[in-house]
Homo-oligomer: A and B are copies of this chain.
Amino acid sequence: MLFVTLLHHPVLNSEGETITSAVANLDIHDIARTARTYGVARFFVVTPLEDQKRLVSDIVEHWVEGPGGRRNPARREALSLVEICDDLESAQASAQGLAGSQALLFATSARDGEGRVAWSTVREHLAGGDPVMLLFGTASGLAPEVFPMCAGTLPPIMARSGYRHLPVRSAVAVALDRLVGDMPR
């Protein structure tokens, strides 16, 4: 069972300070559609801010129960996967309830570093039936305190390009394709 979590806190700004970023409507839509495409069990949106939680909840309600979903059932299907959480621990608890055991957390980062976990290792965990949760940071990425909670950190996508500004929406799509995509390998 595979989970995707998008964190708006704790994340870094471009100065390397820990902040809470604003939720972007489009991240919710695009990542929900991608999650649905790749069979992700739930897409957790983490923000501690009450007004931001209300914003996400309004978006989801419009598309799941409201007029949006009646007009566009495909969008309803995608946004039904969204769950809003105060923090990563709540997302973990909810995932454990769904999967029956604790999910292994894997962080993502646009920065390279020591001991990055191979994509194939995470694929093997999934093939072996381990629940897995992928963590993505908004703004300039996950804050340092997230990494010790994880079983590992995936390598940056296309580090050799020297360009570390892939949109998080696109990074989620690439990561899911690498882990559970249908291209013959």
Contacts and interface: CB of A to CB of B under 8 A. Distances in A.
A146 B71 CA distance: 29
A22 interface: no
Nearest to A110: B37
A155 to B, nearest CB: 9
For this chain, the copies found in one complex come to 2
A91 to B, nearest CB: 22
Contacts of A182: 157-160
Interface of A is mostly: helix
A179 to B, nearest CB: 10
Contacts of A33: 163, 165-167, 170
Interface string A146-169: 000000000001111101111101
Interface in A164-181: 164-167, 169-174, 177-178, 181
Interface in A20-49: 26, 29-30, 33-34, 36-39
